[in-house]
């Protein structure tokens, strides 16, 4: 079980060394079976456990009933875990009834013990479900910017490195855009940091709403955002970046915030650089354009 959970954690934290997106998806599907699959497996386990209960008599198999309950609580839901607790309770009573007619009878104390076992399974299922929620929350905090919810720098570099590796294998172009806010410090000075935080959240929401589902977006610094666009050449990237720039300007105008945006964008067609070099090139373009006090887009193809 611990080996299984460690594999599950590797797949979810990005530490699994899968070379391509397809094999990663297959590996992930093996570690994350569907709720229907888990339910079928659990029903089979309960049938086997009920049969063992029947032939062994008055011996507690509670530790084994914990397996289907834990699987349901982890892979299905907390309610699913509770449901299989009830099925385990019914299975125990059914096996006891069959065993009574076969060889012996049970005292009320035995059925009280069965009920206590049911409560134990219910508590354990809630603990497993709570553990999963806690691990997912910790993973989210470790990989995302707490203010905007976008990827943080470390998580972006990790995910983007996998995307670049995949693009090298498939020989597909990749584009990246570095978005730099102009006059952001003035917002903090004039309206306070609370308004500044609201502005950053608005920018992040606009980026998330305007970009595609396959794109990676992150917040790097206080006023710097980055978007990686896999499988995107210059003819596709430039209209996307122009649309993003327009939407960001519209969002600021709607709030009457005097903030502009400089975007440095790079498209790599053949020999993809490392993700660090890729980001650095886009940052340099944005920084150079910002130094000229321009509010627009600088795009190069390499």
Tell me the pLDDT tens digit for each residue of 250-294: 999 998 898 989 999 999 887 777 888 888 898 888 888 776 656
pLDDT exceeds 50 at position 130: yes
Q: 240 in a domain, yes or no?
A: yes
Position 148 in a domain: no
Q: Is residue 209 part of a domain?
A: yes
Do both 128 and 158 map to the same domain? no
In this structure, are 158 and 287 located in the same domain?
A: yes
| DSSP summary character for residue 57 | -
- Domain final position from 143, 170, 193: 143
Closest CA to 282 of 267, 260, 261, 296: 267
Residue 17 clears pLDDT 90, i.e. is over it: no
What is the overall mean pLDDT for the chain? 80
Q: Which residues, at least 6 apart from 298, have a Cβ–Cβ distance to it below 8 Å?
A: 262, 263, 264, 265, 285, 286, 288, 289
| Structure confidence at residue 31 (pLDDT) | 53
d(CA 181, CA 203): 9
Read off the tokens for 278. 């890729």
**Is the pLDDT confidence value at 111 over 50?**
yes
Residue 297 and residue 82: Cα distance in Å, rounded?
Answer: 55
Banded model confidence at residue 63, pLDDT cuts 50, 70, 90: confident
Q: Which residue shows structure tokens 């340099």?
A: 284
Same domain, 51 and 174: no
Q: Which of 143, 167, 193 is the last residue of a domain?
A: 143
Q: Which domain holds residue 40?
A: 33-143
CA distance 275 to 164: 7
**Which tokens hold the place of 286?**
């944005």
| Domain annotation covers residue 28 | no
What is the reported pLDDT for 4?
Answer: 40
**For residue 160, is it within any domain?**
yes
Inside any domain, residue 172: yes
Of 176 and 7, more confident: 176
Q: So what's the pLDDT on residue 44?
A: 92
Specify the pLDDT at position 15. 43
199 and 274 housed in the same domain = yes
Residue 63 lies in a domain: yes
| Maximum Cα–Cα distance across the chain | 92
DSSP state of 146: T
- How many CA atoms, within 13 angstroms, populate the side-chain half-sphere of residue 239? 5
State the residue for tokens 């660090």. 276
**Are residues 113 and 212 part of one domain?**
no
pLDDT tens, residue by residue, 171-219: 889 999 999 998 888 888 888 889 999 999 999 999 999 999 889 999 9
**DSSP annotation of 293:** T
Q: Are residues 107 and 213 in the same domain?
A: no
pLDDT reported for residue 248: 93
Give me the mean pLDDT over the 56-79 stretch. 84
Same domain, 275 and 189: yes
Q: Are residues 236 and 136 in the same domain?
A: no
pLDDT of residue 228: 93
Q: What is the CATH number of the domain that holds 164?
A: 3.30.70.270
Q: What is the percent of the chain where pLDDT is above 90?
A: 22
For residues 159 and 297, state if they share a domain: yes
Per-residue DSSP letter, 288:
H
Nearest partner of 295 among 266, 260, 264, judged by Cα: 260
Q: Among 194, 154, 169, 110, which Cα is nearest to 279's?
A: 154
- pLDDT tens for 149-175 read 899 888 898 888 888 888 888 888 999
Listed in sequence order, the residues at least 6 apart from 134 whose beta carbon sits closer than 8 Å to its beta carbon are none
Measured CA to CA in angstroms, residue 95 lies from 39, 51, 59 at distances of: 20, 7, 12
Q: Counting beta carbons within 10 angstroms of the beta carbon of residue 13, is it exposed (0 to 12), middle (13 to 18) or buried (19 or more)? A: middle
Q: Could you give the number of structural domains in the chain?
A: 2
Distance CA 184, CA 259 (A): 6
pTM across the whole model: 0.58
Encode 244-279: b = buried (16+ Cβ within 10 Å), e = exposed: bbebbeebbeeeebebbbbbbbbbbeeebbebeebb
Band of pLDDT at residue 25, cut at 50, 70 and 90: very low
Answer yes or no: do 216 and 262 share one domain: yes
Same domain, 118 and 246: no
Given pLDDT bands bounded at 50, 70 and 90, which one contains residue 5?
very low
Q: How far is CA 72 from CA 14, 64, 76, 219, 296, in A?
A: 24, 14, 5, 36, 52
Distance from C-alpha of 75 to C-alpha of 73, rounded to nearest angstrom? 6
Tokens (6 digits) for 33: 């079976």
Domain limit, last residue, from 125, 143, 161: 143
Residue 3 within a domain = no
Q: Do residues 126 and 167 share a domain?
A: no
Please, are residues 176 and 229 in contact by the beta-carbon 8 Å criterion?
Answer: yes
Flag the least confident range among 94-103, 114-123, 152-161. Answer: 94-103
Per-residue pLDDT, averaged over 241-256, amounts to 92
């Amino acid at each position: 079980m611990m080996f299984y959970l460690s594999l599950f954690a590797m797949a979810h934290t990005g530490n699994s060394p899968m070379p391509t997106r397809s094999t990663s998806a297959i590996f992930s599907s093996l570690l994350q079976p569907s709720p229907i699959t888990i339910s079928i497996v659990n029903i089979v386990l309960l049938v086997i456990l009920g049969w063992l209960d029947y032939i062994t008599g008055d011996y507690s198999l509670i530790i084994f009933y914990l397996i289907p309950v834990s699987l349901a609580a982890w892979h299905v839901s907390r309610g699913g875990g509770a449901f299989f607790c009830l099925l385990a309770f019914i299975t125990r009573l059914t096996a006891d009834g069959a065993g009574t007619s076969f060889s012996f009878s049970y005292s009320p104390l035995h059925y009280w013990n069965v009920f206590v076992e049911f409560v134990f399974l219910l508590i354990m299922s809630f603990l497993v479900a709570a553990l999963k929620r806690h691990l997912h929350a910790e993973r989210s905090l470790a990989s995302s910017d707490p203010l905007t919810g976008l990827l943080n720098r470390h998580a972006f570099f990790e995910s983007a490195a996998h995307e670049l590796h995949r693009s090298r294998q498939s020989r597909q172009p990749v584009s990246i855009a570095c978005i730099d806010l102009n006059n952001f410090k003035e917002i903090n000075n004039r309206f306070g940091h609370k308004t500044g935080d609201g502005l950053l959240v608005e920018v992040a929401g606009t980026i998330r709403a305007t970009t595609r589902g396959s794109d990676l977006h992150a917040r790097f610094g206080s006023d710097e955002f980055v978007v990686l666009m896999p499988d995107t050449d210059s003819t596709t990237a430039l209209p996307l970046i122009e649309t993003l720039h327009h939407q960001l300007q519209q969002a600021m105008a709607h709030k009457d915030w005097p903030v502009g945006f400089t975007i440095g964008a790079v498209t790599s067609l053949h020999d993809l650089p490392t993700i660090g070099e890729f980001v650095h090139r886009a940052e340099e373009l944005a920084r150079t354009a910002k130094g000229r006090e321009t509010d627009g887009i600088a795009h190069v193809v390499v």
